[in-house]
Amino acid sequence: MQASELADEIGGRLVGDDVTIDGATIDSRAVRSGQLFVPIVAARDGHDFVGGAISAGAAAYLTSRGAVDGVDAPAITVDDTALALADVGRAARRRLPERVVGITGSVGKTSTKDLLAGLLSTTFRTAASEKSFNNELGLPLTLFNAPDDTEAAVVEMGARGVGHIELLCSIARPTVGIITRVEGVHLELFGSIEAVARAKGELVEALPADGIAVLNADHKHVAAMASRTSAQVLTYGLTPSADVVASDIVVDDQLRASFRLHTPWGSTEVRLAARGEHQVSNALAAAAAAGGLGVPVESMAAGLLGASLSGLRMELSTTDNGVVVLNDTYNANPTSMSAALRSLAALDARRRFAVLGTMAELGHDSAAEHEAIALQADSLGVQVIAVGEPTYGPTATHVADIDAAVAALDELGSGDAVLVKGSRVAALERVAEKLG
């Protein structure tokens, strides 16, 4: 897009030469040649990094401070760079086809996004959110960075409160919406699970009448959202009456599930590269959306097998001294923690340990949820090493920090298995790295 075109579309003013802009970023350390740099004003003022972004190859920059002194590059002046970035996303969306899928839910958004991208890529040129770019900054970047020949786009949508999904839908204008699950996650922000359901359901409310709402039939709060949309509804899950279901589920010794996939468009045998039996539900959601968009069932097995998950999710490795490490440290909540513990228990091991960090933003139920996870681990024969989180209770071994957690595992050897998991703030991937 030409800088002058973009300035017109977002209500800005171009200062300097007209140049071609190819993509956008808010991180001056990740600039690619030709991109638009968008300085965000937060804890640090992104305008301080404009010079570095231009030196790294950015073709132009947005600014709410006027042209930056000493920077010889075109600028698009706006009132607020964060709000302008949303308009950049809207401008990009107008150039994309109608196959835009939005995904939200308390658990499984990113994995479902990754699986769906693998499925759609068998049939369409597909763009998808990087990592977990799921907010009002990451989503516009996904749209604007989609290649010109994109035929389908997949965007993840997170919510920090009621109204956030509605805002993201005003940018992405999805034609397909997937709701994975509604759980008691982020209750510190939402207050109740009913508020979580109201927020997540904004996605299906935003769908056009000729769109598709993909709903998890196994979860009552999600299934109930069928009444909140005028779009076609496709259901998925282990509930036999769902439109897309799995049967004959088998999990191998590497935690990869195989099953028979049943859809309105036919059936096929599927094997997932993604680890954990809980990924079956995410695969069903992806298959429902892909089938609704025209991906033939005979392509689904290859698409699901070829899909790769974003980092720090159910990564299985073996150290030089034979210890199996299950690194699932991207994030944690009671649902994902429980699933990870069951996966650990399914591994062939003589001893099992779980290095667990805090599960953040659980609200008033936080202490009870942490202790429940520790009790589940105990019932599965898993020894919990709790890092800086006392509410895991008396069945856990408590340590103050990451170094202490690694020291507590000093005598591990062949035949032992360790799960490492916590919310992002815990940064427990460093434990997995130190274990080697």
**107 marked ligand binding residue:** yes
- Please tell me the distance from the alpha carbon of residue 362 to that of residue 359, in angstroms, as a whole number: 7
pLDDT at 211: 98
* Count of structural domains, the chain: 3
91 in any annotated domain: no
Instruction: Identify the band that residue 185 occupies on the pLDDT scale cut at 50, 70 and 90.
Output: confident
Same domain, 352 and 431: yes
Same domain, 8 and 52: yes
Three-state secondary-structure class, residue 234: strand
Is 189's pLDDT higher than 90? Answer: no
Same domain, 301 and 343: no
Three-state secondary-structure class, residue 209: coil
Same domain, 158 and 258: yes
Same domain, 102 and 162: yes
86 in any annotated domain: no
Is 65's pLDDT higher than 90? Answer: yes
Q: What is the pLDDT of residues 48-58, one digit of tens each?
A: 999 999 999 99
- Please tell me the distance from the alpha carbon of residue 307 to that of residue 286, in angstroms, as a whole number: 11
191 in any annotated domain: yes
Torsion, CA 383, CA 386, CA 391, CA 393, rounded to 10: 30
- Please tell me the distance from the alpha carbon of residue 171 to that of residue 169, in angstroms, as a whole number: 5
The neighbouring-strand residues paired with 420 are 327, 355
171 in any annotated domain: yes
**158 marked ligand binding residue:** no
Whether 243 contacts 263, CB under 8 Å: yes
**363 marked ligand binding residue:** no
Same domain, 222 and 366: no
Same domain, 333 and 390: yes
- Please tell me the distance from the alpha carbon of residue 303 to that of residue 434, in angstroms, as a whole number: 34
Is 200's pLDDT higher than 90? Answer: yes
Same domain, 45 and 125: no
Give the count of alpha carbons within 13 A of 72, CB side only. Answer: 0
350 in any annotated domain: yes
Q: What is the mean pLDDT of the chain?
A: 97
* Residue 175 DSSP class: S
Non-local CB neighbours of 43 within 8 Å, separated by 6+ positions: none
71 in any annotated domain: yes
Q: Is 78 exposed, middle or buried (0-12, 13-18, 19+ CB in 10 A)?
A: buried
Domain boundary among the residues 274, 306, 338 is at 306
Instruction: Identify the band that residue 348 occupies on the pLDDT scale cut at 50, 70 and 90.
Output: very high
Same domain, 273 and 323: no
Helix (H) or strand (E) holding 267: strand 266-275
Domain boundary among the residues 254, 273, 306 is at 306
pLDDT at 436: 81
CATH of the domain at 138: 3.40.1190.10
238 in any annotated domain: yes
For residue 417, give its domain range: 315-435
Instruction: Identify the band that residue 383 occupies on the pLDDT scale cut at 50, 70 and 90.
Output: very high
Q: Tell me what the mean pLDDT of segment 392-414 comes to.
A: 97
Same domain, 336 and 188: no
89 in any annotated domain: no
Indicate the pTM of the whole model.
0.94
Q: Which residues of 19-43 are buried (b: 16+ CB within 10 A; e: fewer)?
A: bebbbbbbebeebeeebbbbbbeee
Closest CA to 89 of 209, 2, 169: 169
Q: What is the pLDDT of residues 88-138, one digit of tens each?
A: 999 999 999 999 999 999 999 999 999 999 999 999 999 999 877 899 999
CATH of the domain at 347: 3.90.190.20
Tell me which residue has tokens 């805002």. 167
Same domain, 323 and 401: yes
Domain boundary among the residues 52, 79, 106 is at 79
Same domain, 141 and 224: yes
